[in-house]
Amino acid sequence: MKAATLLGSGKDDRKNKDDIKKFEIQPVLGAALPEVAHFLHSWHAHRDQGSPIERLVRDDSLSIERRLRWLQWLLAENPLTAAASPYGLCIRDASGVITGLLLSVPGAFLAGDQRLLGLGSGSFFVGPPARTLGFYLFKRYLHSPGYAFFFSTTCNANSGALWAKLGACAVPNSDVEYVLPLKLDVMLPFFLAGRTSSSLAAELARLVGRCANPVLQLLARQSAELTVEPCRDWEKLAELFRRHRSAHRITTDRSTVFLQWRYGPSSHNHPFDICVFRDKLGNEGWFSLGSIIREPQTIRGRVLLDAIWPRERMSFRDILPAILRRVASKADAIFFQPRPGLDYGECSRWVIPCRLEAPKVFAIPRKGGAPFAASALDLVPADGDGYF
């Protein structure tokens, strides 16, 4: 969806106004979630119609039911969602069918001594008949009352252009994903897939990777001199966050309530691997890991969802070997989202930066609100790996 197609042109203004009259923008309330699940299912099934694997996974009632459970958790069970609050906005045609959607999720943030509320957007889809109304749907979202700023962690080139056109700033380095290969015989063909379709090149990469695997296995066995143990003590995790958070950044508030919602038994993609670590000097922190699958080679990945540590006394380089020991035998690679002030390349020569098509994270303050620097934002996506 290109921003330019949403705005229309002078020659088409009359036609656009006539088209707008056929549709209505409405809030998404709890009773509409089954309709929303069907709309998202249909949208993604149409997008993936060329992929037999994706079609088999998505095109059934169980897929819709899973999507509905995800919506219930993300929107209805969100501890910041007020009882009467809408879950976003939708476009309905004259017969009441949803033809466009923009879901929104509230998030709590800390900036120094201030607690701020931000409203994250995701699942922004508008069908061709209502495309002219997509711009107005987005503008309506940016006027939602009660929020200090608005943000998205799932932008692509088209939606990012729309955010930028309305004055939003991209968060630095959000156009990069970092990958630490654990099984080179799997990951080298994966990296080659975007450059060549040659089966011979893929097989050669697999053989080279198989020979290099022992080097990475030695890396995983290096001692980090850390004691690591699983933890579900939400109060302890929240206290470590408060103790070690930077007062100079605008960061997601890892409160006890948030952590229980995000990682507890009812959370999306449960269970997670959450561990507290401690060095010989008594410095403590924690990290959380989730699981993802990457196509087309069906890569079994682990993703670092979050990590908290005393940055003035420890380096992430000290923590990385402990993370490796938790996942080395269970995954083909570890995926990292960028974090401000953290250079993964300095932690390991094996970490590979992968450039995305465009920045994923944009933010804009409310109209008339206090300005803030996008470089100060330390966002932890509500859906963990940022695919909301």
Query: Are 143 and 16 members of one domain?
Result: yes
Q: Specify the pLDDT at position 196.
A: 65
**If residue 193 lies in a helix (H) or strand (E), which one and from where to where?**
helix 184-193
Query: Are 166 and 183 members of one domain?
Result: no
Q: Which residues, 6+ apart, have CB-to-CB distance to 289 below 8 Å? A: 272, 273, 274, 302, 303, 304, 305, 323, 326, 327
Query: Are 210 and 226 members of one domain?
Result: yes
Among 131, 146, 170, identify where a domain stops. 170
CATH classification of the domain holding 105? 3.40.630.30
Whether residue 281 is contained in a domain is answered as yes
Say how far apart CA 230 and CA 207 lie, in whole Å.
36
Q: Six-digit token pair at 215?
A: 């080097």
The residue segments making up the domain with residue 289 are: 177-355
Q: Specify the pLDDT at position 63.
A: 83
Query: Are 229 and 163 members of one domain?
Result: no
Whether residue 350 is contained in a domain is answered as yes
Give the length of the chain: 388
Whether residue 274 is contained in a domain is answered as yes
Q: Specify the pLDDT at position 194.
A: 66
Say how far apart CA 244 and CA 306 lie, in whole Å.
13
Whether residue 375 is contained in a domain is answered as no
Whether residue 109 is contained in a domain is answered as yes
Say how far apart CA 161 and CA 209 lie, in whole Å.
39
Query: Are 49 and 151 members of one domain?
Result: yes
Say how far apart CA 151 and CA 364 lie, in whole Å.
6
Q: Which residues, 6+ apart, have CB-to-CB distance to 149 below 8 Å? A: 116, 118, 119, 363, 364, 365, 366, 369, 372
Listing DSSP states for 42-65 in one string gives: HHHHHHTTT-HHHHHHHSSHHHHH
Query: Are 286 and 256 members of one domain?
Result: yes
Query: Are 266 and 140 members of one domain?
Result: no
> What total number of domains does the chain contain?
2
88 closest CA partner among 70, 110, 69, 103: 103
Query: Are 149 and 220 members of one domain?
Result: no
Query: Are 110 and 209 members of one domain?
Result: no
Query: Are 154 and 9 members of one domain?
Result: yes
Among 129, 146, 170, identify where a domain stops. 170
Query: Are 310 and 190 members of one domain?
Result: yes
Whether residue 387 is contained in a domain is answered as no
Whether residue 218 is contained in a domain is answered as yes
- CB atoms < 10 A from the CB of 373, how many? 12
Q: Specify the pLDDT at position 201.
A: 64
| Whole-prediction pTM | 0.85
Say how far apart CA 158 and CA 3 lie, in whole Å.
6
Query: Are 134 and 199 members of one domain?
Result: no
Cβ contact 212:181 at 8 Å = no
Tens of pLDDT, residue by residue, the chain (388 residues): 333 334 344 455 555 555 566 899 999 999 999 999 999 988 877 665 544 334 434 456 778 888 999 999 999 999 999 877 899 999 999 999 999 999 999 999 999 999 999 999 988 989 888 888 989 999 999 999 999 999 999 899 989 999 999 999 999 999 999 999 988 777 777 777 666 666 766 677 677 667 666 766 666 555 558 999 999 999 999 999 999 999 899 999 999 999 999 999 989 888 899 999 999 999 999 999 999 888 766 788 999 999 999 999 999 999 999 998 888 778 999 999 999 989 998 888 889 999 999 999 999 999 988 777 888 999 988 665 444 4
Say how far apart CA 375 and CA 249 lie, in whole Å.
8
Whether residue 383 is contained in a domain is answered as no
Among 114, 146, 170, identify where a domain stops. 170
